[in-house]
Amino acid sequence: MSIIILGIESSCDDTSAAIAKDCKILANIVATQTIHEKYGGVVPELASRDHQKNIIPVVEEALKTAGVDKKEISAIAFARAPGLMGSLLVGCSFSKAFALGLNVPLIEANHLQSHILAHFIQNKKGDKNFPRFPFLCLLVSGGHTQIIRVDAHLKMEILGKSLDDAAGEAFDKAGKVFGLTYPAGHMIDKLAMGGNPKAFNFPHPDIPGLDFSFSGLKTSLLYLVKDEIKKDKDFIEKNKADLCASYQNIIVEVLMKKLKLAAAITGIKEIAIAGGVSANSFLQKTLKDEEKKSEWKTFIPQPEYCTDNAAMIAIIGYYKYINKEFCEQSVVPLARV
Ligand code: KG4
Ligand code: ZN
């Protein structure tokens, strides 16, 4: 008999519900909060309030789209950590209450591991183009930048991580400097297409091993812009495409340098990317170019599964259901892991 999982994601500013039937996604509904745009970043209290407004309509829509009755749900999986406490609480409380009401098991999901498991969503019938274990995953999101060795669906080890800002944060902070709305990664990606990636030089962060640092990059951008604006107040407007292309180029260079190092150290050639920044077209192109040069086999999530979504929560829920990894009603969310 098929396993039907309701996945709930509310760790930051997207309220999402998805229905998985085994490894297939029948519905993945995302309500993206736009209220934060004018503040240049996520305002935790507003995010929590919007999740409260959105959670029931999003779940109802997911069930309707999937053509699934709530009585058919086998278990409810929710993002427990990491994230904003007020946001996580909404998804956690809702899931606990709904699971209790339906008398079905509750499954807690790690948001970051879930991003990686998005690679195991079966799209078409018989589609089995999944990464083989062990593989490396570059997880690049708004809150995290990590290189992870994945040995099994639920067995992972962090090999390197950012010591300060995440790659997505570096995009978003630059967006603020360029006068773009939050989150800016997608817009920088678009503007960069018309720019010269070598127009401006940014220093490479000198971090040993597989760790990253992106905070210096943002500071060097700020200094550059401050100096140039003194000479020409329209500097940003006149150079926006070149600035975006050059800044994006250095981020991708840094990510690829560490990914290549991780592949060399581990000898692993199955390479995946995941998280919001994995939607970046230049990162995707650079990864595909490297695939040819290094005989890697690379994996990029479908666009809707790069940024936050509940489909990935439902999929990790499926694997935990098979393993009978359920949690108690006393479970609480965790802002950090
Ligand atoms: O995974 P995600 O949706 O949320 C977190 O878990 O943080 O990632 C959001 C991040 C934001 O920083 C956003 O600017 C970035 O992903 N992002 C992109 C692109 N699309 C989203 N960054 C670069 N290029 C993109 N195309
Ligand atoms: Zn995420």
The alpha carbon of 305 is separated from its chain's Cα centroid by a whole number of angstroms, namely 8
| CB of 12 sitting under 6 A from ligand 1 | yes
Average pLDDT over residues 38-42: 88
**Statement: residue 4 has pLDDT above 90:** yes
Of ligand 1's atoms, which has the minimum distance to the CA of residue 112? 6
Asked if 200 contacts 244 with a C-beta cutoff of 8 angstroms, the reply is no
Residue 4, helix vs strand vs coil: strand
Judge if the beta carbon of residue 184 lies within 6 A of ligand 1.
Answer: yes
Expressed in angstroms and rounded, the spacing between residue 111 Cα and the centre of ligand 2 is 6
What average pLDDT does this structure show over 260-266? 98
- State if residue 59 touches ligand 1 by the CB under 6 angstroms criterion: no
User: For 239-260, what is each residue's pLDDT tens digit?
Assistant: 999 999 999 999 999 999 999 9
pLDDT for position 129: 86
Q: Following DSSP, what letter does each residue of 214-282 receive, concatenated?
A: -HHHHHHHHHHHHHHHHH-TTHHHHHHHHHHHHHHHHHHHHHHHHHHHHHHHH---EEEEESGGGG-HH
How many angstroms is it from 82 CA to the middle of ligand 2?
9
Structure tokens at 114: 């879930």
Q: Name 14's bridge partners.
A: 32
**How many Cβ atoms from other residues are within 10 Å of residue 260's Cβ?**
15
Domains of the chain in start order, with CATH, are: 4-123+306-322 (3.30.420.40), 135-301 (3.30.420.40)
Query: Which tokens hold the place of 327?
Result: 């949690």
Tell me, using a 6 A CB cutoff, whether residue 168 lines ligand 1: yes
pLDDT band at 219 (very low <50, low <70, confident <90, very high): very high
- For the whole model, what pTM was predicted? 0.96
Round to whole Å and give the CA distance between 154 and 152: 5
Can you say how many angstroms the Cα of residue 180 is from the centroid of all Cα atoms in its chain?
20
The yes-or-no verdict on residue 126 having pLDDT over 70 is no
- Point out the ligand 1 atom lying closest to the alpha carbon of residue 275: 1
Whether ligand 1 lies within 6 angstroms of the CB of 83 is answered as no
- Return the structure tokens found at 76: 């409810």
CA of 322 to the centre of ligand 1 (A): 31
- Is residue 172 in contact with ligand 1, taking CB distance under 6 Å? yes
* Residue 17 β-bridge partners: 8, 29
